[in-house]
Amino acid sequence: MSSPGRSTASSNVMEIIHSVAEMQQRCLEARAAGRRIALVPTMGYLHEGHLSLLREGKRRADLLVLSLFVNPTQFGAGEDLDSYPRDLEGDAEQARSVGVDLLFAPTASDMYPAGYASYVNVEGLTEVLCGASRPGHFRGVTTVVCKLFTIVQPHVALFGRKDFQQLAVIRRMTLDLNLPVEIVGMPIIREADGLAMSSRNSYLSTDERRQALALSDAIALAKAAVAGGEGSAVAVLETVRQRIQQESAAEIDYIQICHAETLQQVTDIDDQSVLLLAVRIGKTRLIDNSYLSEED
């Protein structure tokens, strides 16, 4: 059954493939026939943010591939691997509605067979921010994305900018390993009240959902301060911290202002400065970000 409130429109003829070998063979054949392939890697439970990536992928390529895989290697001990929301049927309906050609939904045992021992690790960018509080997370991300690139052979891959650090890490990996894939970062899609769309939003109670708006509120306050002439990162961070701490369910993991490419913290704000937040609302860890000089 699809989830309440999720789109169920479907018209596109789409194939669902579970086998790694079959998926790779189909994509190699498509490349040999001169077809341009776009890949949108996801962990499923699709929302409008994912669909925006798929629509752009459809525009950029002849063959649109969506991967749905809750990747066990990017979850740490005690994280929500087992409870992460899953809805293959609902996801397939939404994928058809935006013109996905191939939906790749492999099993963990096929992606990581017995004896699996090879991982991709990007240094530097992965030890800060989410990497500091989730050791090993980005090793899992880069490994699975590299595997997906090898299996699907895409010309272009699209990722949401909500996972800003992930996007930076994948760009670095792709550059360093000379992978022939164009990486496209897409804007954050927000709910009408400003909350960044996330599959984990489904964990929030009604009151927690209200308190979660502190993240987007804090970003708006920070951008207003910068637009008004504030150039000190310390001052802006204090404004952000005060707003989030107004919520009883909020526990700050990190609030930092970093350079967009290096992810190193800055003291003076310029057009490459990004505000990045990770905040637990109750038991749910939410992330959000924005360039501070970016207009709404």
Nearest by Cα to 127 from 141, 142, 140, 137: 137
Q: What confidence score (pLDDT) does residue 3 get? A: 39
**Residue 126 covered by a domain:** yes
Q: What confidence score (pLDDT) does residue 4 get? A: 35
Whole-structure pTM over 0.85, yes or no?
yes
How many CB atoms lie under 10 A from the CB of residue 33? Answer: 9
Q: What confidence score (pLDDT) does residue 294 get? A: 77
User: How does pLDDT run along the chain (296 residues), one tens digit per residue?
Assistant: 333 334 334 445 899 999 999 999 999 999 999 999 999 999 999 999 999 999 999 999 999 999 999 999 999 999 999 999 999 999 999 999 999 999 999 999 999 999 999 999 999 999 999 999 999 999 999 999 999 999 999 999 999 999 999 999 999 999 999 999 999 999 999 999 999 999 999 999 999 999 999 999 999 999 999 999 999 999 999 999 999 999 999 999 999 999 999 999 999 999 999 999 999 999 999 999 999 997 75
Catalytic residue check, 50: yes
Q: What confidence score (pLDDT) does residue 264 get? A: 97
**Total domains in the fold of the chain:** 2
Query: Can you give the residue range of the structural domain that contains 276?
Result: 199-291
**Residue 215 covered by a domain:** yes
The CATH number linked to 63 is: 3.40.50.620
The 10 Å CB-count burial string (b at 16+, else e) for 123-135 is eebbebbbbeebe
C-alpha 271/C-alpha 82 separation (Å) is 40
DSSP string, 50-76: HHHHHHHHHHH-SEEEEEE---GGG--
**Residue 231 covered by a domain:** yes
- The answer on 208 and 165 residing in a single domain is no
- The answer on 146 and 28 residing in a single domain is yes
- The answer on 226 and 159 residing in a single domain is no
The CATH number linked to 220 is: 3.30.1300.10
- The answer on 170 and 63 residing in a single domain is yes
One-letter amino acid at 263 equals: L
| Options 47, 50, 137, 155, the catalytic residue | 50
